[in-house]
């Protein structure tokens, strides 16, 4: 049996075997495997010099950029713990996570330093490494660069006193310190809501990451020499898996974008002969909406797993996408969660089942249980999704009670509802905690949303439950209307009553400009309760 090694050792192997090959391309700037390896080595050495110990959390606070990948692997080469903080965080959110971690070191984008400054004296922070997104932009970019990124580069200021230039550190040439690691050591802490309560740090090991990365690469056909388009946020578990881990595991090139831009996508695919892209459904729709989209040659694109967020990725939508990318397999990507390093299922691209979320990843076991009895339910019946496999996390950081509720007998009790059909395909239905009870009936928000976006005037939809003196709860819908469409709440309510059971139909419809969402596109329903 081949010995298991951490993903950063795969990086080292690529640096030795193919030092000048492209590991990452950033708007035309190529970072080779050797450069990525040396940069992460040097950062690991600097952390060691600062006294950062094995098992110590180190925070990352930035959007997509090559420096993110350098920092990620530098931290893990030292045996410290990568702790992403969402770059959309405001003061209170960052303070909460840093305080929970007791993190002494943070790598932050220069444009986010005002937020870091606000929390510096209220947390354990001692060292700040600063990243400038524009530092690695080429003078003549190959792709459309977001205007705000160009502005950041033009307005770059000297690094504040008491901070360190991250990129300069990575160019010091320092060797990575020798550290003895176990595959069971914690390598990553990603914050999640879990099944209840405030966000918690899910502790994931080097072994968790390797298992799920290998599964994602093998099941989705990622191989050496492939060129991947990496747009999903690297700080999010799915974006990290597809944008950092899979390319390093397979020896594939990652074309990295700061954020989604449909024009840049249309430029990148033919220019770099991209053959693999993980997207969310609204991205595909936005790309197809670009007037010159059909003039672009997207024939290199071979594989496109898509996650439904806001818009359901359906067979008609996949067929429409094929008119633009004729050689592309596109399908619902997977079901997964932070506590399992995501990708708990995969969709067999030669046996796609629309409406389902794929089969259990090889090595993973998925059970559907009755949450009241803890017994397995019959095939096709709805119950709680329970996962057992090598991807399961080690627990929540400093949260033993929460860990005991979620991690039981080696299984992750997800708090999600789903069912498995006779052929082993899982269908995710919704979260137990988001379930709405109307006159005793269970209403799953995702189900109502899936129906609402079929209305011709609705671009996106999200629903929540609100108290009602007669029915216990009723459904309130938040609608993003399509451009130019009428905002007729009564008409949508009437249509809903015609297209779903009466208890599911929204009692109230409110129009908003955009749904509150994470950087990865996941709707944050809790924020809707205050709107």
Quick: pLDDT tens for 218-230. Answer: 999 999 999 999 9
Residues of the chain with CATH 3.30.300.30: 435-528
pLDDT tens string 73-131: 999 999 999 999 989 888 888 999 999 999 999 999 999 999 999 999 999 999 999 99
Does the CA dihedral 269-271-276-279 come out positive or negative?
negative
pTM for the model: 0.86
Residue 2 has pLDDT above 90, yes or no: no
- 254/273 Cα distance (integer angstroms): 12
Q: Please tell me the least confidently modeled range out of 191-200, 377-386, 476-485.
A: 191-200
Q: Two tokens at 274? A: 């991209």
Residue 367 has pLDDT above 90, yes or no: yes
The predicted pLDDT at position 519 comes to: 64
At residue 531 the predicted structure's pLDDT band, cuts being 50, 70 and 90, is: confident
The predicted pLDDT at position 447 comes to: 79
The predicted pLDDT at position 516 comes to: 87
DSSP 135-184: GG--SS-SSPPPHHHHHHHHT--PPPTTEEEHHHHHTS-PPPPP----TT
Q: Please tell me the least confidently modeled range out of 100-109, 272-281, 362-371, 521-530.
A: 521-530
The predicted pLDDT at position 432 comes to: 76
Average the pLDDT over 317-322 and give the result. Answer: 98
Residues of the chain with CATH 3.40.50.980: 33-204
Q: Which residues contact 140 (CB under 8 A, 6 or more apart)?
A: 28
29 CB-contact burial (10 Å; exposed 0-12 / middle 13-18 / buried 19+)? middle
User: At 115, which helix (H) or strand (E)?
Assistant: helix 113-120
CATH superfamily of 435-528: ANL, C-terminal domain (3.30.300.30)
Which residue from 359, 336, 344, 265 is spatially nearest to 304, judged by alpha carbons? 265
Which residue from 252, 309, 255, 306 is spatially nearest to 278, judged by alpha carbons? 306
- 385/366 Cα distance (integer angstroms): 7
Distances from the Cα of 269 to the Cα of 95, 144, 294, 303, angstroms: 39, 13, 13, 12
Q: Are 284 and 321 in contact (CB under 8 A)?
A: yes
Q: Two tokens at 417? A: 């509802």
Residue 196 has pLDDT above 70, yes or no: no
The predicted pLDDT at position 455 comes to: 95
pLDDT tens string 377-409: 999 999 999 999 999 999 999 999 999 999 999
Q: Are 276 and 228 in contact (CB under 8 A)?
A: yes
Residue 521 has pLDDT above 80, yes or no: no
Where residue 380 falls (left for φ over 0; alpha for ψ -120 to 50; beta otherwise) is left
The predicted pLDDT at position 377 comes to: 96
pLDDT tens string 329-360: 999 999 999 999 999 999 999 999 999 999 99
- 229/226 Cα distance (integer angstroms): 10
Q: Two tokens at 363? A: 């090595």
Residue 65 has pLDDT above 60, yes or no: yes
- 402/461 Cα distance (integer angstroms): 31
**Three-state SS at 237:** helix
**Three-state SS at 509:** strand
Exposed e or buried b per residue across 143-168, where buried means at least 16 C-beta atoms within 10 angstroms of its C-beta: bbbbeebeebeeeeeebeeebebbbe
Residue 520 has pLDDT above 70, yes or no: no
Which residue from 224, 226, 232, 216 is spatially nearest to 278, judged by alpha carbons? 232
Q: Two tokens at 241? A: 């898996």
Which residue from 1, 393, 3, 8 is spatially nearest to 179, judged by alpha carbons? 8
Domain 33-204 annotated CATH 3.40.50.980 = yes
Residues of the chain with CATH 2.30.38.10: 359-434
pLDDT tens string 231-274: 999 999 999 999 999 999 999 999 999 999 999 999 999 999 99
Pairing of strands 329-332, 303-307: parallel
Q: Are 252 and 226 in contact (CB under 8 A)?
A: yes
- 342/328 Cα distance (integer angstroms): 23
Average the pLDDT over 496-507 and give the result. Answer: 89
Q: Please tell me the least confidently modeled range out of 150-154, 170-174, 197-201, 299-303.
A: 197-201
Average the pLDDT over 470-492 and give the result. Answer: 93
% of the chain surpassing 70 pLDDT: 98
What CATH number labels 359-434?
Answer: 2.30.38.10
The predicted pLDDT at position 420 comes to: 98
């Amino acid at each position: 049996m081949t010995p298991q090694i951490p993903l950063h050792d795969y990086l080292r192997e690529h640096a030795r075997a193919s030092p000048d090959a492209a590991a990452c391309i950033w708007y035309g700037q190529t970072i080779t495997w050797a450069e990525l390896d040396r940069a992460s080595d040097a950062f690991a050495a600097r952390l060691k010099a600062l006294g950062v110990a094995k098992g110590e959390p180190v925070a990352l606070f930035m959007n997509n950029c090559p420096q993110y990948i350098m920092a990620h692997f530098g931290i893990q080469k030292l045996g410290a713990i990568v702790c992403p903080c969402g770059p959309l965080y405001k003061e209170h959110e960052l303070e909460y996570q840093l305080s929970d971690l007791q993190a002494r070191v943070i790598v932050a984008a220069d444009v986010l330093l005002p937020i870091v400054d606000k929390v510096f004296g209220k947390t354990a922070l001692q060292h700040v490494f600063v990243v400038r997104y524009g530092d690695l932009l080429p003078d003549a970019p190959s792709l459309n660069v977001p205007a705000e990124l160009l502005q950041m580069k033009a307005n770059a200021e000297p690094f504040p006193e008491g901070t360190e230039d991250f990129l300069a550190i990575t160019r010091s040439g320092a060797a990575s310190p020798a550290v003895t690691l176990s595959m069971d050591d914690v390598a990553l802490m990603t914050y999640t809501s879990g099944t209840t309560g405030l966000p918690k740090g899910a502790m994931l090991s080097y072994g968790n990451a390797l298992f799920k990365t290998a599964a994602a690469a093998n099941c989705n056909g990622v191989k050496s020499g492939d060129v991947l388009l990496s747009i999903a946020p690297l700080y999010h578990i799915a974006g990290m898996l597809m944008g950092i881990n899979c390319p390093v595991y397979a020896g594939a090139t990652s074309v990295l974008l700061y954020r989604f831009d449909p024009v840049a996508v249309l430029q990148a695919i033919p220019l770099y002969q991209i053959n693999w892209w993980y997207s969310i459904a609204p991205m595909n729709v936005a790309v197809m909406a670009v007037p010159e989209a059909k003039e672009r040659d997207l024939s290199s694109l071979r594989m496109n797993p898509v996650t439904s967020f806001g818009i359901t990725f359906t067979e008609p939508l996949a067929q429409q996408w094929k008119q633009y990318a004729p050689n592309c397999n596109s399908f619902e990507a997977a079901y997964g969660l932070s506590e399992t390093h995501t990708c708990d299922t995969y969709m067999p691209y030669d046996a796609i089942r629309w409406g389902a979320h794929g089969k259990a990843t090889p090595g993973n076991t998925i059970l559907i249980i009755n949450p009241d009895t803890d017994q397995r339910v019959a095939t096709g019946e709805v119950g709680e999704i329970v996962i057992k496999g090598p991807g399961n996390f080690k627990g929540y950081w400093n949260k033993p009670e929460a860990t005991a509720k979620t991690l039981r007998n080696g299984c992750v009790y997800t708090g999600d509802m789903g069912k498995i059909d006779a052929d082993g395909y899982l269908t995710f239905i919704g979260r137990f905690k988001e379930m709405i009870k109307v006159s005793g009936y269970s209403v799953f928000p995702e189900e109502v949303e899936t129906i609402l976006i079929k209305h011709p005037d609705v671009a996106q939809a999200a629903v929540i439950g609100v108290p009602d003196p007669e029915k216990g709860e009723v459904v309130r819908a938040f609608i993003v209307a399509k451009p130019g469409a009428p905002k007729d709440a009564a008409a949508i309510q009437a249509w809903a009553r015609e297209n779903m059971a009466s208890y599911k139909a929204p009692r109230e419809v409110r129009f908003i400009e955009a749904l509150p969402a994470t950087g990865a596109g996941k709707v944050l329903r809790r924020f809707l309760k205050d709107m």
